[in-house]
Amino acid sequence: MKHYDGLALFSGGLDSLLTALLLMEQGLAIKCLHFYSPFFGSPRRVQHWREVYGLDIDAVDVGDAYVDMLRQGPAHGFGSAMNPCVDCKILMMKRTRGLLAEYGASFIASGEVLGQRPMSQRRDTLNIILRDAGVRGLLLRPLCAQHLEPTQAELSGLVDRSRLLGFNGRGRKDQLALAQKYGVQEIPTPGGGCKLTEKENTRRFWPVLRHVSSPVADDFRLADIGRQFWLGQCWLSIGRHQQDNEAYAGILRNEDLLFKVSGFPGPLAVGRGGRTWDAEAVRMAASLMASYSPKACRAAEEGRSIAVNITSNGQSSQLEVAPLRESLFKEPSWESARDELYALRKPGHVSGD
């Protein structure tokens, strides 16, 4: 295997791109690692990035480890939504540290800029990440290195510290000028990319963490598809369009309940929650999902009966229902997720942004 000088975390954002280019300009061999999970990352774009930016990138799936961290409760708390930015960075740094030997690399580089984010890129937070990830001396932040203590790679002369930068604060002017210097044609758009920072996604994801006893990455993939409804621990996801219906195919489990209106076009729906589903919950779910089939609704108004096929564990059954939007199954709200998240906050937590 080719040996590298350093491993750079590459999110696909401008700062991580410039970090890699800045080090490569010194003639260093840099392997970029693109971490992904149900919440962030685009492994399908890796090939595109290789071509447009000339980077050497591997995609690394951290989904299950990430969900474990969420399940245990992030030690440094959540940010403004369900984003545990500090624990997220610690997790990625630890994973990268564990990969150094495999790539023959001796340092880690990341694109953080001092003061760019209100919480996760404050000086004290950057130090917490160094300490808790066990990467003090190993982690180089080339874009703001002039404001930080020299790392082992700089002290040994492997990295020329005089060619590292002293960016500071929230502006993107310096980054854009550097991108221009490197002739970057495709400037990544700022922000975006992490679903955990968004209210709409927190509303979807939080009930999974609250109600599923041992959630795994695929549970959060299901939460990201269709409309979400909960009744206690019974979880129903109703597809909004063909794309949602197709997405279910990749994550459907044998014990899930798959609902489909018989004889009319309409959505698919997936019920998850195992033994918590009783006959009444199944009937309500079938009624609710049938209400999202306009043709079934019209037929019911004309007095025709509506049947819903339900498949689970390889067995199919059929239930006659009236399509009903009124239901005990409720869509989770951002406000209730926010109240529960904020109640978890502890004094002294640096949390995320």
Q: Does 231 bind ligand SF4 (CB under 6 A)?
A: no
| Rounded Cα–Cα distance for residues 353 and 350 (Å) | 9
How far CA 45 is from CA of 12, 22, 49, 62, in Å, comes to 9, 21, 6, 17
Q: Are strands 268-272 and 234-238 parallel, antiparallel or unpaired?
A: antiparallel
Nearer to ligand SF4, 219 or 244 (CB): 219
Nearer to ligand SF4, 142 or 352 (CB): 352
Distance from CA of residue 323 to its chain's centroid?
34
How many amino acids of this chain bind ligand SF4 (CB under 6 A)?
Answer: 10
Q: Does 89 bind ligand SF4 (CB under 6 A)?
A: yes
Nearer to ligand SF4, 30 or 194 (CB): 194
Nearest in space to 11 (alpha carbons), one of 127, 123, 45: 45
Nearer to ligand SF4, 8 or 297 (CB): 8
Q: How many residues does the chain have?
A: 353
20-49 residues near ligand SF4, rule: CB under 6 A:
40
Per CB under 6 A, the segment of 78-86, 175-183, 256-264, 332-340 that binds ligand SF4 is 78-86
Q: Does 85 bind ligand SF4 (CB under 6 A)?
A: yes
Nearer to ligand SF4, 34 or 89 (CB): 89
Whether 135 contacts 102, CB under 8 Å = no
| Rounded Cα–Cα distance for residues 219 and 237 (Å) | 11
Interacting residue with ligand SF4 among 7, 88, 234, 310 (CB under 6 A): 88
181-200 residues near ligand SF4, rule: CB under 6 A:
194, 196-197
- 220 membership: H or E segment, kind and range: helix 217-223
Residues lying near ligand SF4 in the complex (CB under 6 A) are found at 40, 83-85, 88-89, 194, 196-197, 352
